[in-house]
């Protein structure tokens, strides 16, 4: 059907998208995209935010109907048949499964219940157990996805929850499995084990579409890579012979300049924690007896899987929490109370983890978001009366200085892309030349261009003499930026060691809990 | 065919502004249906309800008199609702204000007290309403209890308290055992605007409240923090805004304005305390606030519309023997219609082909 005269691939096609075009008003989200996937193939789908990956997958899933083009999927006999558009049920029935970045699990149900949920009538009083269990056991044995099926999902780790999600898809006899940013929440070891599983599944004939930002994973796992840019397919090539630089260039459309990071000249300690505990002792995300020092002019990275205590650390620094025990000092002054406004006044610049919920207010304008933390300062208000013109003028300057792409200071911030939203947060934080910058997952969900920009700004803040506390799950980012790295696991913080002496594997092991408690 | 509500990111301001008109239209259609079912000619009923009152100078005055408390209370509620705090108990705060203000009128009754009595009564009225409003605010801040329930329940506490007072300690000894207080002295009554008629100084106070509230909500730091607390509490807390202060603040303002409305009503059109001092102004003002898009000027227009249903309802009671409940049905239909219209402005209904798994 799609003959390739030079390298005929013997494996049968399972999925074929031809000429998919989707327009939203004047925006062409997908522009005549062709994509073939064969049985047993692992194909990477790469692209920056807004390149059209999500739209394409939504069309495949029937959430959108394509304006032009068609989707065909192999039936049980291996014959390609057109998939009716606009029906999620048809897509599921045809054997398309997807594991989203944010899991769709009922946390109060067990893994077993989650897997069979939706495959049986809602009216059946009892879940049919035995046959289903046998099938799941077989799938676990075949794929190597071992997980306890009988505890509530809420008690499983993120990696285990992901296994439930994959089993859920396999249980529905998928022929095409789409994994959306599957490693974003995993430790390196968990990611390795996921890669092994994916290879095993592909070996049994499953077609896998792997969506990721992490280029080294794509290169290691996938045999073919499809790159989208601006809604169009710009490359469809084997991964053999490609390297990270070429792929990044294809995604962005221009060469990415290497990051420049001058040597650090650490100054006096700005933040120091002495035996600090934060958060209720029963909470999962808490900090116990932690010691940490962050000096001016250095970036200290905190590695760890989300929910191991970095949230508590960030809350303490951001002023949302007070220490339960121990002593936290900022420039020698004690941080005793939870006082966000006080932290800002004391010179803490805070880049929150969730820029949508904490960092910005969608209903407000760019200018209002820009002054959110300093609204009570005299330059923004006089006797309770807002100085709108002055606020707008300074926001306009910041928009220019930080290259925020938006219609203007009066635009609603929710209309901005994630990267531009983060630029507004950066502008708000860095414009005031903070003593300490808390960067909590500062590049999560951002594309390469925006990520590079955030990194450049953080390094610049360090060059200016600010202390930077970088909390991230992305080890590449931590190693690229940090002067010293500490690992947090189950509430315990390891000593911060010079990044030069560490490697990704050691930090990965510590993230999984090996050697953190003892070292501390 | 299942339907799905999809949130729309960009809400056109025009649709937002037109929603109340659509809601009014729907209410009229439902009302026409109701009149037909009740065996009345809907055209005649509408004429009595909505057209006739507008042609008579006396009822026009009455319209403004009825709109004034709705306006005062509604403007206060806008503070609460913008901050996403749901004060449903304005009726109770209205009564509490009326009681505290009236205490002074009764305490100075028959004495030589001078012109300071009325202003002091107004201040006490506002304080009484504010204190009553601060109870649900405190319960929410301290114990996390729903202000919707507590404020509503406090309405009945206030009403029964008033009932006790006018039947017991504050009953007029010369009142032939009627449950009502003495008629207030002249120094405790709202002055009339034109020397005669029904228009009283409370109307000016209500209009002042519109101007001040428009300014405060739109241009000041206070209005900004109310907006923040309402639209994004997490981000507001992260940025260092104190959520508790906002809760206390909006309940105090909203209670104070409701209390002020209460004492103005008692010292104005009523002139004494009696068991019932409101035809449900505190609840109807909720509709006025929502219909007026939580904007003081919008609430001004909405209050006039709702006052018209009161006046028309009274006329219909007399000439068509329709019960007062018909007015309540009108107001309730209007509230449901405006809430539904809001949903349709914010969301788009999409047909989903094929059911998806729950």
pLDDT digits (tens, 9 = 90+) for B331-358: 899 889 988 888 888 787 776 554 444 3
pLDDT digits (tens, 9 = 90+) for A166-194: 999 889 889 999 998 888 777 778 888 88
Q: Of A256, A278, A302, which one is at a domain's C-terminal end?
A: A256
Domain count, chain A: 4
Is A341 close to B240, i.e. CB distance below 8 A? yes
| Contact of A239 with A253, CB cutoff 8 Å | no
Domain shared by A507 and A408, yes or no: no
Is B228 close to A364, i.e. CB distance below 8 A? yes
B5: in domain: no
Closest Cβ–Cβ partner in A118, A320, A385 for B220: A385
Domain shared by A301 and A447, yes or no: yes
Residues of A in contact with B221 (CB under 8 A): 375-376, 381, 384-386
* Greater pLDDT, B266 or A105: B266
B334: in domain: no
| Contact of B8 with B347, CB cutoff 8 Å | yes
Q: Rounded distance, CA B244 to CA B221, Å?
A: 16
Beta carbons within 8 Å of B142's beta carbon, 6+ residues apart:
none
Task: Say whether residue B357 is in contact with chain A using an 8 A CB cutoff.
Answer: yes
Domain range for residue A395?
Answer: 361-429
Domain shared by A122 and A201, yes or no: no
Domain shared by A85 and A119, yes or no: no
DSSP state of A365: B
Q: How confident is the model at residue B152 (pLDDT cuts 50, 70, 90)?
A: very high
Of A151-160, A325-334, B112-121, minimum mean pLDDT range: A151-160
B28: in domain: no
Q: Which of A398, A454, A371, A422 is nearest to B240 (CA)?
A: A371
Task: Say whether residue A86 is in contact with chain B using an 8 A CB cutoff.
Answer: yes
pLDDT digits (tens, 9 = 90+) for B187-205: 999 999 887 788 999 999 9
Q: Rounded distance, CA B202 to CA B264, Å?
A: 6
Best B232, B346, B358 member to test A by mutation, with max A CBs in 10 Å, is B232
Q: Rounded distance, CA A158 to CA A162, Å?
A: 6
Helices of type H across B169-265: 202-219, 221-231, 233-238, 243-265
Domain shared by A5 and A84, yes or no: yes
Q: Rounded distance, CA A441 to CA A472, Å?
A: 5
- pLDDT of residue A262 exceeding 90, the answer is no
Best A27, A88, A356 member to test B by mutation, with max B CBs in 10 Å, is A88
pLDDT digits (tens, 9 = 90+) for A114-145: 888 877 665 555 656 677 888 888 988 888 88
B339: in domain: no
Beta carbons within 8 Å of A389's beta carbon, 6+ residues apart:
none
Is A340 close to B357, i.e. CB distance below 8 A? no
Model pLDDT, residue A320 = 92
Domain shared by A82 and A186, yes or no: yes
Task: Say whether residue B231 is in contact with chain A using an 8 A CB cutoff.
Answer: yes
Domain shared by A240 and A146, yes or no: no
Domain count, chain B: 1
| Contact of A324 with A289, CB cutoff 8 Å | no
A367: in domain: yes
Domain shared by A267 and A325, yes or no: yes
In chain A, the N- to C-terminal Cα span, in Å, equals 61
**What one-character-per-residue DSSP string does A442-485 give?**
TTTT--HHHHHHHHHHHHHHHHTT-EEEEEES-HHHHHHH-SEE
Domain range for residue B303?
Answer: 41-321
Q: Catalogue the E-assigned strands of A279-406.
A: 287-295, 299-303, 325-330, 333-334, 348-351, 381-382, 385-386
Compute CA distances A291 → A273, A494, A496, A520, whole Å: 5, 8, 9, 9
User: Best-predicted range by mean pLDDT among A265-274, A411-420, B145-154?
Assistant: B145-154
Domain shared by A298 and A441, yes or no: yes
Instruction: Work out whether strand A269-278 and strand A436-440 pair parallel, antiparallel, or are unpaired.
Output: unpaired
User: Best-predicted range by mean pLDDT among A139-153, A366-380, B47-61, B270-284?
Assistant: B270-284
Chain A residue closest in CA terms to B228: A361
CATH number at residue B218: 1.10.3470
Q: Of A256, A271, A304, which one is at a domain's C-terminal end?
A: A256
For residue A439, the cross-strand partners are: A351, A470
CATH number at residue A23: 3.40.50.300
Q: Of A429, A454, A482, which one is at a domain's C-terminal end?
A: A429
For residue A28, the cross-strand partners are: A23
B263: in domain: yes
Domain shared by A145 and A196, yes or no: no
| Contact of A475 with A387, CB cutoff 8 Å | no
Model pLDDT, residue B256 = 98
């Amino acid at each position: 059907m799609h003959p390739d005269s030079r390298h005929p691939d013997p494996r049968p096609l399972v999925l074929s998208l031809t000429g998919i075009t989707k327009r939203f008003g004047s925006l062409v989200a997908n522009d005549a995209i062709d994509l073939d996937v064969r049985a047993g193939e692992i194909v990477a789908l790469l692209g920056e935010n807004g390149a059209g990956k999500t739209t394409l997958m939504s069309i495949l899933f029937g959430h959108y109907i394509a304006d032009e083009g068609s989707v065909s999927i192999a039936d049980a006999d291996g014959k390609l048949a057109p998939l009716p558009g606009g029906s999620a049920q048809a897509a599921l029935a045809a054997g398309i499964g997807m594991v989203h970045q944010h899991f769709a699990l009922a946390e109060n149900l067990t893994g077993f219940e989650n897997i069979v949920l939706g495959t049986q009538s809602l009216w059946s009083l009892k879940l049919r157990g035995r046959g289903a269990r046998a099938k799941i056991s077989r799938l676990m044995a075949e794929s190597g996805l071992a997980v306890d099926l009988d505890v509530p999902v809420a008690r499983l780790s993120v990696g285990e929850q992901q296994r439930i999600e994959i089993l859920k898809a396999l249980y529905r006899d998928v022929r095409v499995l789409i994994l959306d940013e599957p490693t974003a929440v995993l430790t390196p070891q968990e990611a390795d084990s996921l890669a092994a599983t994916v290879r095993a599944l592909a070996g049994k004939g499953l077609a896998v579409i792997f969506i990721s930002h992490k280029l080294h994973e794509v290169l290691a796992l996938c045999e073919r890579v499809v790159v989208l840019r601006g809604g169009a397919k710009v490359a469809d090539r084997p991964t053999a012979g490609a390297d990270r630089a070429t792929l990044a260039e294809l995604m962005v459309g221009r060469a990415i300049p290497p990051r420049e990071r001058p040597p650090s000249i650490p100054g006096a300690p700005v933040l120091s924690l002495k035996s600090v505990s934060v958060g209720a002792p029963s909470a999962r995300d808490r900090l116990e007896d932690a010691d940490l020092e962050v000096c001016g002019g250095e970036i200290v990275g905190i590695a760890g899987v989300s929910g191991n205590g970095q949230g508590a650390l960030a809350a303490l620094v951001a002023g949302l929490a007070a220490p339960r025990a121990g002593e936290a000092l900022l420039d020698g002054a004690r941080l005793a109370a939870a006082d966000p406004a006080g932290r800002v006044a004391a010179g803490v610049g805070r880049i929150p983890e969730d820029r949508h919920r904490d960092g910005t207010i969608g209903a407000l304008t760019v200018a209002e978001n820009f002054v959110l933390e300093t609204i009570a300062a005299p330059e923004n208000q006089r006797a309770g009366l807002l100085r709108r013109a002055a606020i707008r003028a300074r926001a306009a300057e910041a928009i220019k200085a930080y290259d925020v792409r938006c219609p203007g200071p009066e635009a609603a911030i929710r209309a901005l892309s994630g990267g531009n939203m983060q630029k507004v947060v950066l502008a708000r934080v860095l414009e005031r030349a903070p003593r300490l910058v808390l960067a909590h997952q500062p590049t999560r969900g951002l594309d390469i261009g925006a990520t590079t920009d955030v990194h450049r700004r953080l390094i610049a803040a360090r060059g200016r003499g600010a202390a930077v506390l970088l909390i991230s799950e992305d080890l590449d980012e931590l190693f690229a930026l940090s002067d010293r790295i500490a690992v947090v696991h189950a509430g315990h913080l390891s000593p911060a060691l010079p990044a030069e002496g560490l490697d990704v594997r050691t930090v990965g092991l510590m993230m999984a809990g090996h050697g953190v408690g003892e070292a501390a | 065919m299942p339907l799905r509500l999809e949130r729309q990111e960009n809400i056109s301001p025009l649709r937002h502004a037109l929603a109340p008109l659509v809601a009014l239209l729907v209410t009229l259609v439902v009302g026409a249906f109701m009149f037909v079912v009740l065996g009345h000619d809907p055209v005649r009923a509408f004429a009595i309800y909505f057209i006739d009152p507008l042609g008579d100078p006396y009822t026009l005055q009455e319209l403004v008199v009825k709109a004034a408390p709705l306006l005062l209370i509604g403007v206060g509620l806008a503070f609460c609702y913008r901050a996403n705090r749901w004060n449903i108990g304005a009726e109770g705060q209205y009564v509490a204000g009326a009681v505290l203000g009236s205490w002074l009128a009764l305490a100075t009754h028959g004495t030589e007290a001078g012109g300071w009595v009325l202003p002091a009564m107004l201040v006490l009225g506002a304080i009484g309403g504010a204190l009553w409003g601060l109870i649900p605010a405190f319960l929410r801040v301290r114990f996390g209890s729903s202000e919707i329930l507590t404020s509503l329940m406090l309405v009945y506490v206030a009403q029964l308290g008033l009932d006790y007072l006018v039947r017991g300690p504050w009953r007029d000894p010369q009142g032939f055992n009627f449950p009502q207080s003495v008629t207030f002295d002249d120094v405790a009554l709202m002055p009339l605007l034109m020397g005669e008629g029904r228009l009283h100084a409370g109307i000016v106070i209500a209009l002042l409240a519109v101007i001040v509230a428009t300014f405060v909500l739109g241009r000041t730091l206070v209005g900004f923090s109310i907006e923040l607390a309402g639209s994004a509490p997490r981000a507001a807390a992260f940025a260092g805004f104190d959520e508790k202060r906002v809760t206390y603040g909006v309940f105090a303002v909203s209670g104070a304005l409701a209390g002020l409305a209460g004492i103005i009503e008692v010292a104005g059109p009523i002139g004494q305390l009696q068991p019932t001092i409101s035809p449900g102004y505190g609840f109807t003002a909720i509709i006025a606030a929502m219909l007026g898009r939580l904007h003081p000027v919008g609430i001004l227009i909405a209050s006039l519309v709702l006052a018209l249903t009161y006046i028309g309802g009274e006329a219909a009671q007399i000439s068509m023997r329709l019960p007062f409940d018909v007015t309540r049905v009108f107001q309730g239909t209007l509230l449901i219609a405006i809430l539904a219209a809001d949903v349709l402005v914010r969301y788009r209904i999409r047909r989903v082909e094929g059911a998806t798994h729950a």
